[in-house]
Structure 1
Amino acid sequence: MQIRDLPYSDPGDPDVRSGPRFLYWLGRNQLRGQLKSLAWGLLHQCGIAGFPFGVGMAVQAVIDRSGVRLIISGGLILLFGAVTAIGDTMLHRTAVTNWITAAARVQQLLARKTAQLGSALTRRVAAGEVVAVSTGDVEKIGWFVEALSRFAAAATALVLICVGLAFYLPSLGVLVAIAMPVLALAVLPLLPRATQRADIQREKAGKATELASDTVAGLRVLRGIGGEELFLDRYRRASQEVRKAAVRSARMWSLISAIQVLLPGLLLIGLVCYGAKLASEGRISVGQLVTVYSAVTLMLFPLRHFEEIAMAYSFSRPSAKRAARVLSLERTSYENEGTASGSPAGDLYDPATGLLAPAGRFTAVVCGDPDAAGALAEQLGGHAESASEEKAPSVLLGGIALDDLELDAARRAVLVQDKDPVLLSGTLRELLDVPSSGEVSAEDALAAAQCGDVLNALAQASVDDSDDPMRTRITERGRSLSGGQRQRLALARSLVTDPEVLVLDEPTSAVDSHTEARVAAGIKHLRAGRTTVVFASSPLLLDHADRVVFVHDGTVAAVGVHRELVHTEPLYRAVVTRETEEETQAFAEIEESA
C-alpha cells in the first residue's frame, strides 16, 4: 500500500477485542509494508556493521605499511557508506509510509463507525474522547506500527553482528555475544512501571482533552452565565495533573535511557581493558581490537530501538485500547443485517407509544417532557439506544419495520433533525450540498426556513465583490451566527434533503414569534404531500399542523387539532400555554361547575 493509493477502498474488519489485538491486526494487514521496511532496515544496519571491519582493516594496513590493503579498506568504507545511505533513505521512506497508512486505516475505521452510529455515538462515548482518539491516539498507534519494522531490523542486525564477531575473534566476540542480550533486556523490569505511568498520563490527558472540547463547545453559554472562569480553573487543574503525570513518566523513561547508556559504557571499558591486554600479549592484532571496539560502539545505535519500541508500545497500547473501544460499539436499534433495501412509503407508526403520523400529512407531537420528546424523535428515526436489555419494537414505515431496512435505505426514508443541529464549516453552498431527492432547490428551502436576514448577513460578510451569500464561508458550528440563524440554516438543509419522512425536534425554539409563524407556514407549504413530524409546544406552530398528537407518560393520550385539544384536554393545555398548577386546578374547577 502506497500513500498515493489512500484512502483504502475497504479498511477491513478490525479485531477490537483488546488494544494489543487491534495493534496486531494493524500490523498483520500491513505485512507487505513491514517486510519492505525490514529489508531496507537490514541493509542499513548491515552497512553500519561493515564500517568496523573496514576501519580495522585500514588501521592494520597502516601498521603493516600495506598500501594495497589500505586502498581496499578505503573502497570498502565507501561501499558501506553508500549502502548505509541507501538503506537509511529507503528505510525512512517505507517506515513513514507504514506510519501514514496505518493512521489512515484507523481514521477510516473511525469515520465509518461514526457514520454507522450517527447520533448514538456521542451518547455512548464523550465527544472529547472521539476527538482524542481520531487525533493523538491515531498518531501514537501509527508510531508503533512504524517503529515495529525498524526494531525487527535492529534486533536481527544485533544477532548477525554478535555471531560475526564470535567467528571473527572468539576471544572478544563471545564476550560481546553474551553481554548484548543482557544490555537489551536490562531495562525489562522497569517497563511495567513505565507503562503504568504512561497509561496514567494518557488517561489524564484524555480527560483534559474532553474537558477542553466540552468547554469550547459550550463557550457561548458559559459566557452568558459568567461561568467561563470556573471552567477555566477546572481545566488549569486538569492540565497541572497532566503535567505532573508527564514528569513522573519522563523520570522513568530517563532512568531507562540512563541505564542503556551506563551499561554499554561499562561494557566498552571492560572490552578495551581486556582487549588491550590481549593485544599487548600478542594474542590479537591492533586492527582486530579496533574492529571489535568499533563494532560494539556502533551496536549502541540499534540498541536504542529496544527503548523506542518499548516506549512506542507503552504509549500506543492505551491509545489502541481507546480506539478499539470506540470501534467495538454497535447499534442496539438498527441491525446491520437488514434485509429490505428499497425506499418504503406510507404511514409512520411507533408501536411503543401508539404514535401514528399519516402519510403526506403535517403532524405535530406535543410532549410534556423535552427529554422524552427528543428520545421519541430519535426513536422515530430508528436512532434510539435502548437502556434495557429488552429491545423496543421497531417503528414501522408503510408497514415495514425500520430495523428490517438496510441502514442507508432507512436513512434515506427518515431524516431526524434534533434540537441542536450542527453546522459544519464551509460555504453556504457546501452546507446545502447534501444527498437529496433533487425536487427541492436550495432557494426554496432557504425561503421556507425564512433565511432572508441570514442571506443578507452572509452577503455583507462576503470575501469577494460578488456579494453572493452562497460563497460566504460559515465558521465551525456556525459560531458567527445567532442561535436562530443557525437553527434556520439547519432547517433549510433538512428541507433540501426532502426525505420521505422528516422529523423535526423543536425547529423554531430559537426564533421570535413572528418568524416562527412564517417558518411553520413555509414548512407546511414546502412539505405538502410529504410526511412531516414536528415536536413542538408552541401554539403558533401547532396551529399549522394537520394533526396534533399529545403524548403523556410514554403513550398517546389525545389526538386532534390544536384548537380542539386546547379546550378538551387540560394536560395538553397546561403544556402548550405553560400553565401553573394553580391555573390548571382553577380551569378544572370552572369546567366542573359548567
Structure 2
Amino acid sequence: MVAQALVPAAVGKAIDTGIIARDQRALLLWGGAVVVLGVVQATAGILRDRAALTTRLGASYRTAQHIARQAARLGAALPKRVAKGEIVNAGVVDIGRLGDALAETARGSGAIVAIAVVAAILLHTSWQLGLVVLLGVPLMVGVVSLLLRPLHRRQQRLREQQAELTGRAVDIVSGLRVLRGIGGEEVFADRYRADSQRVRAAGVAVARVEALLDGAKVLLPGLLTTVVVWLGAHYVDTGRMGAGQLVAFYGYAVFLVDPLRRLTNAAGRLTQGHVAARRITAFLALRPEFAPSAVAPAPYQGPAPLTDPASGLTVAPGRFTAVACASPADAATLAARLGRYTDSAVTLGDTPLADLPPDEIRRRILVADNDDRLFAGPLREELRGRGSDAGSGGRGRGVALVGRG
C-alpha cells in the first residue's frame, strides 16, 4: 500500500514540473515513476494476498488439528464436558473466523503504514493539512471503537445461542425415532423453533451494529476527504499551493478511504476472531478425567484377567463371558469401569488400570455400546473404494494417513 500511497505524489510532480513547466524530460521521468510504482504495487499485492491466504488457511487447519487432537485426548469425557453444538461450531465456524482475523492483520498493518507515510508527506508539504489527517484518523478510529464493544458482546451472545441451537438439532436428529415413538416430536420441534427465533433475534442485533459500522466506513473517510480537498483548494486559491500539489492532495484524500476501510474491516474481523479464540481456548484448556501414570509399567506379553473389585467380576482371557445386570444403567456403569472410562479399582492381571497408559488400555480393552458405528466389511475395502486396484503399499500408506489424522 505504500507504493499506492506514493502515486499521488508522483502525479503531482509530473503536473508541476512536467506539464505546467512544459518540461518533457521531467514529465517522462515522473510518468515512469508512476509506472514503476504500479508494478511494485501489483507485485506486492500478489505477495500480500498469497501470504494472507497462507496465514488464514494455515491457522484454520492447525486449529482444526488441535481441536481434533483435544477431542481424541478427552475421549469418553468429551460428551460430558462439552455440548455437541459447541464442538460442531468450534470445528466449523470458529476456525474460519480465527483464520480470517489473522489474515486481516497483514492488511491492517499495511494500512497503518500507508496512513503514516501519507501523513508524513502531508506534513512536509503543508503542516495544516498533515495535522488534519493526523487528528482525523485517530478520531475516526475512536468512533469505530465505540461500535466494536457492543458488537463484541452481541457476537458473543449470538455464538453461545448458535451452539445451543446446534446441540438441540443434533439431539433431535439422533433421537428422532424415539421422539416419534413417544409422541414428543412436536414438543421438540416447538422448542427448536423458539430457540431458532432467539438466534435470529440475536443475529438481527448483531446486524444492526454491523450496519452502523459499515455506514461509518463510508461516512467518516468521506468527511475527511471533503475537508482535505476543501483546504487544498483554498490554499491553491490563495497561492500557497500549486495545481499539481492540489491534485496530489486530492489523490491522498481519495487513497485514505481504502486504508481506513481496511482498518475498520480488520477491527471487525479481529473482534469476531477474539470471540472465536476464547471459545477455542476454553475447549483446548479442558483436561481429561484421569491423568496418565507418571511411570508406565512394562507392557504385558500375554493375556491377563480383568477384575472389577466393586462387583466381584473377573473376565478371564480367551473366554466368552456374559453378565446379567438388574438394569441397563448398571451394565453401562460396569462397562465404563472395565474400560477405564470412569475412575475405578479395576485391575488387568496384578496391575491397576490407573497405572497403565491409555494406549495400552485401549489396545487390550474395547468397549462398544449401541451407539457405536462399525465398518460393514473389511477395512481395506472401505479405504480402497470401488474400482481401485491399489496394492498393499498404497493401503499401508492410507492406513498410516488415517492414523495420523
TM-score (norm 2): 0.87
Contact 2:5–2:117 under 8 Å retained in 1 = no
Residue equivalent to 1:252: 209
Q: Structure 1 residue 360 and structure 2 residue 318: aligned?
A: yes
Residue equivalent to 2:370: 419
Tell me the distance in 2 between the aligned counterparts of 1:422 and 1:100.
31
Change in Cα spacing, 1:331 to 1:431, as seen in structure 2 (3 Å) is: farther
Task: Kindly report the root-mean-square deviation, in angstroms, between the aligned alpha carbons of the 2 structures.
Answer: 2.4
Q: Structure 1 residue 238 and structure 2 residue 238: aligned?
A: no
Q: Structure 1 residue 301 and structure 2 residue 258: aligned?
A: yes
Contact 1:349–1:397 under 8 Å retained in 2 = yes
Per the alignment, in what secondary structure is the counterpart of residue 299 of structure 2? coil
Q: Give, as a single letter, the amino acid of the residue that structure 1 aligns with 2:202.
A: A
Contact 1:338–1:407 under 8 Å retained in 2 = no
Deviation at 1:361, TM superposition (A): 2.8
Deviation at 1:399, TM superposition (A): 0.9
Tell me the distance in 1 between the aligned counterparts of 2:267 and 2:204.
18
Residue equivalent to 1:405: 356
* Structure 2: unaligned runs, 5 residues or longer: 388-405
Q: Structure 1 residue 72 and structure 2 residue 29: aligned?
A: yes
Per the alignment, in what secondary structure is the counterpart of residue 133 of structure 1? helix
- Render the CA deviation track for 1:362-395: whole Å, top value 9, x for unaligned: 32222213122212201111112xxxxxxx4442
Deviation at 1:432, TM superposition (A): 8.3
Change in Cα spacing, 1:432 to 1:356, as seen in structure 2 (3 Å) is: farther
Per the alignment, in what secondary structure is the counterpart of residue 366 of structure 2? strand
Contact 2:306–2:314 under 8 Å retained in 1 = yes
- Render the CA deviation track for 1:70-120: whole Å, top value 9, x for unaligned: 222221221111111111111111111111111111111111122222222
Change in Cα spacing, 1:360 to 1:216, as seen in structure 2 (3 Å) is: same
Tell me the distance in 2 between the aligned counterparts of 1:62 and 1:224.
86
Tell me the distance in 2 between the aligned counterparts of 1:281 and 1:166.
19
Which of 161, 178, 182 pairs up with 1:221? 178
Change in Cα spacing, 1:87 to 1:351, as seen in structure 2 (3 Å) is: same
TM-score (norm 1): 0.61
Per the alignment, in what secondary structure is the counterpart of residue 378 of structure 2? helix
- Render the CA deviation track for 1:500-556: whole Å, top value 9, x for unaligned: xxxxxxxxxxxxxxxxxxxxxxxxxxxxxxxxxxxxxxxxxxxxxxxxxxxxxxxxx
Deviation at 1:351, TM superposition (A): 3.0
Deviation at 1:151, TM superposition (A): 1.4
Tell me the distance in 2 between the aligned counterparts of 1:171 and 1:338.
72
Tell me the distance in 2 between the aligned counterparts of 1:187 and 1:246.
20
Which of 14, 35, 39 pairs up with 1:58? 14
Which of 136, 154, 169 pairs up with 2:93? 136
Q: Give, as a single letter, the amino acid of the residue that structure 2 aligns with 1:117.
A: L
Contact 2:85–2:168 under 8 Å retained in 1 = yes
Deviation at 1:250, TM superposition (A): 1.3
Tell me the distance in 2 between the aligned counterparts of 1:125 and 1:152.
36
What is the identity percentage for the equivalent residue pairs of Structure 1 and Structure 2?
35
Q: Give, as a single letter, the amino acid of the residue that structure 2 aligns with 1:332.
A: E
Tell me the distance in 2 between the aligned counterparts of 1:160 and 1:80.
15
Deviation at 1:195, TM superposition (A): 0.7
Contact 1:341–1:409 under 8 Å retained in 2 = no
Tell me the distance in 2 between the aligned counterparts of 1:336 and 1:432.
38
Tell me the distance in 2 between the aligned counterparts of 1:282 and 1:237.
68
Q: Give, as a single letter, the amino acid of the residue that structure 1 aligns with 2:52.
A: A
Q: Which moved more, 1:363-372 or 1:277-286?
A: 363-372
* Structure 1: unaligned runs, 5 residues or longer: 1-44, 385-391, 435-461, 465-594
- The number of aligned residues is 384
Contact 2:221–2:256 under 8 Å retained in 1 = no
Residue equivalent to 1:283: 240
Residue equivalent to 1:94: 51
Contact 1:163–1:177 under 8 Å retained in 2 = no
Deviation at 1:199, TM superposition (A): 1.1
Contact 1:343–1:412 under 8 Å retained in 2 = no
Per the alignment, in what secondary structure is the counterpart of residue 68 of structure 1? helix
Change in Cα spacing, 1:433 to 1:274, as seen in structure 2 (3 Å) is: closer
Q: Give, as a single letter, the amino acid of the residue that structure 1 aligns with 2:100.
A: W
Tell me the distance in 2 between the aligned counterparts of 1:211 and 1:431.
36
Deviation at 1:144, TM superposition (A): 1.2
Output aligned runs, 1:486-565, within 5 Å: none
Change in Cα spacing, 1:409 to 1:227, as seen in structure 2 (3 Å) is: same
Residue equivalent to 1:10: none
Tell me the distance in 1 between the aligned counterparts of 2:171 and 2:222.
50
Which of 116, 125, 129 pairs up with 2:73? 116
- Render the CA deviation track for 1:276-300: whole Å, top value 9, x for unaligned: 1111111111111221221122122
Residue equivalent to 1:519: none
Deviation at 1:335, TM superposition (A): 1.9
Residue equivalent to 1:428: 377
Output aligned runs, 1:41-52, within 5 Å: 45-52=1-8
Residue equivalent to 1:454: none
Residue equivalent to 2:393: none
Residue equivalent to 2:118: 161
More strand by share: 1
Tell me the distance in 1 between the aligned counterparts of 2:204 and 2:316.
63
Q: Structure 1 residue 379 and structure 2 residue 337: aligned?
A: yes
Output aligned runs, 1:552-591, within 5 Å: none
Residue equivalent to 1:521: none
Which of 262, 271, 281 pairs up with 1:324? 281
Q: Structure 1 residue 347 and structure 2 residue 305: aligned?
A: yes
Q: Give, as a single letter, the amino acid of the residue that structure 2 aligns with 1:266.
A: L
Contact 2:107–2:262 under 8 Å retained in 1 = yes
Change in Cα spacing, 1:336 to 1:200, as seen in structure 2 (3 Å) is: farther
Q: Give, as a single letter, the amino acid of the residue that structure 2 aligns with 1:81.
A: G
Q: Give, as a single letter, the amino acid of the residue that structure 2 aligns with 1:428.
A: G
Q: Give, as a single letter, the amino acid of the residue that structure 2 aligns with 1:79.
A: V
Tell me the distance in 2 between the aligned counterparts of 1:405 and 1:147.
46
More helix by share: 2
- Render the CA deviation track for 1:535-592: whole Å, top value 9, x for unaligned: xxxxxxxxxxxxxxxxxxxxxxxxxxxxxxxxxxxxxxxxxxxxxxxxxxxxxxxxxx
Larger RCO (alpha carbons 8 Å, 6+ apart): 2
If you compute each CA radius of gyration, which structure gives the higher value, 1 or 2?
A: 1
Contact 1:103–1:139 under 8 Å retained in 2 = yes
Tell me the distance in 2 between the aligned counterparts of 1:141 and 1:297.
31
